[in-house]
A and B are shown apart, each in its own frame.
Chain A
Amino acid sequence: MKEISELILPDDVRYAEDHEWARREDDTIRVGLDDYAQDQLGDIVFVELPQVGDTFKQGDEFATVESVKAVCECYLPVSGKIIAVNTALEESPELVNTGPYGDGWFVVVNPGDLSELDTLMTNTACLEKLKGAA
């Protein structure tokens, strides 16, 4: 597993407490799992995603991620309606490991309230939190 200094935490996304990330893309928000989470989980074997059209509030469980020996619930960092789902993860769940901020994205959300993004952490804040917990 990576040292904290080795973690990749880009600045174009915001981070939730449970290590989901959210990126503003015009009027929509793309969501995925950050580098710390994928590293902790290890090789991902299965991702269960919601359907297009499902709606969630901020903090609702919207997906599960499985490694061989663990299951992790994922909570949606912003409220909204799912407008796209990364179906590539069905055949290639390992994309979450190899490209957590790119090919390994989970869903795209039509957000209910864009200001919710401000409640999430910046990459610096996320890094500080991880250092503090260590």
Chain B
Amino acid sequence: MKASLGTSGLILNEPFLWEKGKKGRHGFSLPRRDVEPCPLNAELTGQGPDFPDLSEVDIVRHYTRLAQWNFGVDTGMYPLGSCTMKYNPKTNEKQASLPGFSGAHPLVPASLSQGALKVIFELCQYLNEITGMDATALQPAAGAHGELTGMFIIHAFHKKQGTQRSKIIVPDTAHGTNPASAALCGYHPVAVASNEQGILSVEAIAATMDADTAGIMVTNPNTLGLFEENIQKIAAIVHAKGGLVYCDGANLNAVMGVVKMGDIGIDVMQLNLHKTFSTPHGGGGPGSGPVCVKKQLEPFLPIPRVVEKNGPYILAEDYPESIGKVAAFYGAFNVIIKAYSYIRSMGAKNLKKASQLAVLNANYIKEMLKGTLHLPFDRPCMHECVFSDKHQAAQKVTTLDMAKRLMDYGFHPPTIYFPLVVHGAIMVEPTETESKEDIDQFIEAFKTIASEAREDPDKLHQAPKRCKVKRLDEVTAARKPCLAG
């Protein structure tokens, strides 16, 4: 067996910002004062915040050391299911930091912002093409925000019809944001179970759909990594009762150029630019969650919308049926530039290839690990596959233990304990940017961990050993929260 990727190295301890510094130190070049100081109103002014005073060196060392405690896609494989942790191209970062974009103010006249407006306009066109939908809005700042926007649109549609429905169908495999978004819109989520094949059945939807149901929220491919084969019939049932079909597009990486959501019955969907379209996750965000709709829902999209008017682009607000605004300005523009750059760099052929290779990588891992880990659905998967810890139960080794041990081998663990329908779920999404060698190394590591589970389970219970910290006391953190220093 080759040497493990994971090793120990010299990473340094680092105190809090306020445990460093000295009063009077500067980390900032104060601009020249060219106006007279004004007297201050003592009633309005305060003491100023209790921030430390640090030098630039203090700050650079601080964050350089902190960075070394992190593992990113640039460090190694990050196979988080449904997160699409693909490589983040560096040219995208360069484009986003061009001064003409980063220095742009959103409220100057549109004639002075033509470059940005063109990016927004064209990205909408590309996303329409990729999804097979008719219109796109880039305003939502994240996937969940896009879902909420979609819910608002559905709500507005039914209001216009003169009916207000109270329920929405949410599969048991749905991401938590789905029912949460529905609830924020006043809808009561009605759960529906997937069948033994791990997908939604026509019968189950037919039994649940009624005139008081606004629609259904599907994820396709779903969170088990399976294509919802019955989607067209399901859409027909929902439509027949006047409902709408919402698709959570988080897993679009599986089907670019292979399936167009607009052609299979979807009325409204959101995309995650920070998943499918390669923009970085930033340790938790920012993302961007564009919402794409079919023609009949276009009037409800948030405003303003970028349109072309006799040549130049303008920000149009004249959409009386719009749901209004879901964010102050036009969306996460800096993230939008990165997605735009990605699509322009890949082109149609490579986007399709990306999906094909993502699916190839996932199926390869499925085949190679299915002897080692229990595979609840032994059928072709899409861009991700789901295992469980059933085979390791006898040794009292859990999904959590195996995940923690993977870190010692130099890999970020896959998504664990989701979807909820598989007990002890391990959801692996390699993405297309992992090479065969890196995937083989991952497979090797997991096999080693499985044999450790048999021979020396304590190694796993004590894992991780090579990270900056060992397992953390999450119980005390929740009982006695300490959220600020």
The answer to whether any beta carbons of A and B sit under 8 Å apart in the complex is yes
- A residues bordering B, Cβ < 8 Å? 43, 45-46, 66, 68-69, 93-94
Dominant SS at the A interface?
loop
> Could you list 11 A-B pairs, sorted by A, with CB under 8 Å?
A43-B475, A45-B478, A45-B479, A46-B478, A46-B479, A66-B478, A68-B474, A68-B475, A68-B478, A93-B479, A94-B479
Contact residues in A for B479 (Cβ distance below 8 Å): 45-46, 93-94
Contact residues in B for A93 (Cβ distance below 8 Å): 479
How near does chain B come to A103, taking the closest CB pair, in angstroms? 16
Number of chain B residues whose Cβ lies closer than 8 Å to a Cβ of chain A: 5
Binary per-residue interface labels of chain B (414-438) against chain A in the complex, 1 for a CB within 8 Å, 0 otherwise:
0001000000000000000000000
How near does chain A come to B318, taking the closest CB pair, in angstroms? 45
How near does chain A come to B442, taking the closest CB pair, in angstroms? 25
* Complex Cα–Cα for A43 and B478 (A): 10
**Besides A45-B475, A66-B478, A93-B479, 10 other A-B contacts (C-beta < 8 A):** A43-B475, A45-B478, A45-B479, A46-B478, A46-B479, A68-B474, A68-B475, A68-B478, A69-B417, A94-B479
* Complex Cα–Cα for A88 and B475 (A): 18
Closest to A93 in B: B479
Binary per-residue interface labels of chain B (452-485) against chain A in the complex, 1 for a CB within 8 Å, 0 otherwise:
0000000000000000000000110011000000
Q: How many A-B residue pairs have CB under 8 A?
A: 13
Contact residues in A for B475 (Cβ distance below 8 Å): 43, 45, 68
How near does chain B come to A87, taking the closest CB pair, in angstroms? 16
Closest to A68 in B: B474
Closest to A42 in B: B475
Closest 10 A/B residue pairs (Cβ): A45-B478, A43-B475, A68-B474, A45-B479, A68-B478, A68-B475, A45-B475, A93-B479, A46-B478, A94-B479
* Complex Cα–Cα for A66 and B473 (A): 16
* Complex Cα–Cα for A46 and B474 (A): 13
* Complex Cα–Cα for A75 and B479 (A): 23
How near does chain A come to B29, taking the closest CB pair, in angstroms? 45
* Complex Cα–Cα for A4 and B115 (A): 68
Closest to A94 in B: B479
* Complex Cα–Cα for A69 and B417 (A): 10
* Complex Cα–Cα for A28 and B389 (A): 46
* Complex Cα–Cα for A43 and B476 (A): 9
Contact residues in A for B417 (Cβ distance below 8 Å): 69
For window 15-29 of B, CB contacts with A under 8 Å fall at: none
Contact residues in A for B478 (Cβ distance below 8 Å): 45-46, 66, 68
How near does chain A come to B254, taking the closest CB pair, in angstroms? 28
Closest to B475 in A: A43
For window 44-102 of B, CB contacts with A under 8 Å fall at: none
How near does chain B come to A63, taking the closest CB pair, in angstroms? 17
* Complex Cα–Cα for A68 and B354 (A): 38
* Complex Cα–Cα for A45 and B473 (A): 12
* Complex Cα–Cα for A42 and B30 (A): 53
How near does chain B come to A90, taking the closest CB pair, in angstroms? 10
How near does chain A come to B290, taking the closest CB pair, in angstroms? 31
Contact residues in B for A69 (Cβ distance below 8 Å): 417
Closest to B400 in A: A69
For window 292-348 of B, CB contacts with A under 8 Å fall at: none
How near does chain B come to A39, taking the closest CB pair, in angstroms? 15
